[in-house]
Amino acid sequence: MRLVTADGTEIAYEDHEAPGSPVLLLHGLAGHRGEWDDLTARLRSDGHRVVTYDARGHGESTRRPVSVTRESCVADAAALMDHLSLSPAAVTVVGQSLGGHTALLLAATRPELLSSLVLIEAGPGPIPVEMPERIGTWLDSWPKPFPTSEAARDFLGHEAWARGLEKRPDGWWPRVDRNVMVDMITDAAGRDYWPQWRRTTARALVIRGGKGWMPEEEFRAMGVVRPEAELRTIATAGHDVHLEAPEALYGALRAFLTR
């Protein structure tokens, strides 16, 4: 299914309808909605309605959108929630990495749209100014095209990442544009988002991978600013908690949703 936003960007999404409370899942930079397949299946088994989508510039959504600002990404999430008439009184927004950053800003600017917020390896601290260069170098290192999906899995580290590639006659290609990814993280880098975190009112769960990228100081400070927020560290996981520790993530999320 597809939604065309106000600026003409097409957003590819999946709506797994069910009678239970809705959960919207937001993937990170250079990712795709299929990364959530494992968690989607687990949540659906509990009766939840689950919505996933490819962020602008990613996957089956518009590859080179007119804007990749933080504001445009937040607007996409809000537009999809409005389009699907997700019940604000019950909806939970879950985001990982840059998707978590989008979820945080959504909760700060459109608090009426959601009741619960789950941030995975994402917080309000400034993204390092050198991050765009690091992301560009990482994307440049991909041996494009990958000869097989197995080669892609071995290089990228996760089978789910390999599933996000596009199969062409000469091999497997990324479904993201290198410069679009760099521009997207550049817009977010070097800015402080603590005021936005202070403004959030949704019930919140923050999850950090014990081997991930999120600084423990930032993680702890989020609990100081919002003492009622729940903080969980999954010690065995790195940055991609949803792929590296899916059972532990589901357990933490399920407990949060049922409280």
Query: Which pLDDT value is given to residue 33?
Result: 98
pLDDT given at position 151: 98
Q: How far is CA 66 from CA 72, 73, 100, 138, 180, in A?
A: 10, 12, 22, 24, 10
Q: CA angle 12-117-63, nearest 5°?
A: 25
User: What are the per-10-residue average pLDDT scores of the chain (259 residues)?
Assistant: 98 96 98 98 98 98 98 98 92 98 98 98 96 97 97 96 97 98 97 97 98 97 98 98 98 96
CA-nearest of 132, 126, 108, 114 to 25 is 114
Report if pTM > 0.85. yes
CATH topology of domain 2-124+192-258: Rossmann fold (3.40.50)
